[in-house]
Amino acid sequence: MDIDIVKIANSGQCFRMNPIKGREEVCTLVAFGEYLEIEKTDTGYQFSCSEEEWERLWKVYFDCSTDYEGLGHLIEEGDKYLQSALVHGKGIRILRQELFETIISFIISQQNNIPRIKKSVETLCTKYGEKRQNFRKEVYFTFPEPMSLAQAGTEALRDCGLGYRSRYIHETSRMIAEGEVKLSALQQMEYQSAKKELLKLPGVGIKVAECIALFGLHHVDAFPIDTHIDAVLKEYYPQGFPFKKYEGYAGILQQYMFYYDLMY
């Protein structure tokens, strides 16, 4: 299977997947309340979970049913930029992340940098998540429930380094906890309806809504345009990006472009 854990961890789509300090070939990850370690071996990857858990959770999480290797054949002959981005990003996949975590994480991401986003997310988990132990009895924290964040005061949230975003986090969590915006309904919607619904949440604008649609709802047509991608589009696609041509997977391409621009 075409998967590169380190690239995914550095691709900016998730904020709780990190290499262990001093053992950079091992990544840790918390999702669905579970803790996972992934170690790079000579032949591939070794996952710390049981076969049953892999089948139930992680196979889906890593989007194993999608063929990413075939993407290269779909790129236009003359599009050297995308061809290069795909080569350098080989192994990147669009994770199927939990919806609430994705919503909160990408509200935090606005006007922010990745190390600080990660720090804020981790602090939120430590203060409002559930405390658990991994297989070697080390403590980890799950991502908080909507209700927990809704009940946290704006001032307490501010202590997580969220700044002006704490008001957004509080209000968005409240709306979700009270069912004003229903996560289950969002998961049933088409891309455009879901996007419109997400825009009701305070702190969610067009860019963040598209990130949530792509990473939390797996709408691979969503194409978030941030400052990086905006610069790329202006430089390499002055005539406009061929969205029509890449309909049905443009969002995946966006992730390769983002990684390529970030790393090279």
Residues designated as active site? 207
187 CB neighbour count, 10 Å cutoff: 12
Which one among 110, 126, 148, 151 touches DNA, defined by CB under 7 A?
Answer: 110
CA distance 48 to 171: 37
Return the exposure string of 69-81: e unless at least 16 CB atoms fall within 10 Å of the residue's CB, then b: eebeeebeeebeb
Q: How far is the CB of 179 from DNA (least distance, A)?
A: 19
Residue 102, interface with DNA (CB under 7 A)?
Answer: no
* First-last CA distance in the chain: 25
Q: How far is the CB of 108 from DNA (least distance, A)?
A: 10
Which one among 128, 226, 241, 256 touches DNA, defined by CB under 7 A?
Answer: 226
Residue 109, interface with DNA (CB under 7 A)?
Answer: yes
Task: Show contacts with DNA in window 185-204 (CB under 7 A).
Answer: 201-204
Take residue 28 and report the two structure tokens written for it. Answer: 């840790």
Q: How far is the CB of 245 from DNA (least distance, A)?
A: 21
CA distance 71 to 58: 22
Residue number, 88 or 207, with CB nearest to DNA: 207
Query: Binding string, 37-56, against DNA, x = CB under 7 A?
Result: --------------------
CA distance 146 to 176: 6
Number of residues located near DNA, criterion CB under 7 A: 33
Q: Where are the beta strands (DSSP E) in 32-169?
A: 34-40, 45-47, 131-133, 139-141
Per DSSP, what are the bridge partners of residue 34? 31
Residue 91, interface with DNA (CB under 7 A)?
Answer: no
Residue 11, interface with DNA (CB under 7 A)?
Answer: yes
Residue 209, interface with DNA (CB under 7 A)?
Answer: yes
Query: Binding string, 111-130, against DNA, x = CB under 7 A?
Result: xxxxxx--x-----------
Take residue 31 and report the two structure tokens written for it. Answer: 């999702």
Cβ neighbourhood burial of 26 (10 Å; 0-12, 13-18, 19+):
middle
Residue number, 36 or 211, with CB nearest to DNA: 211
Q: What amino acid occupies position 160?
A: C
Residues binding DNA (CB under 7 A): 11-13, 109-116, 119, 158, 161, 163-164, 201-209, 211, 224, 226-229, 254, 258
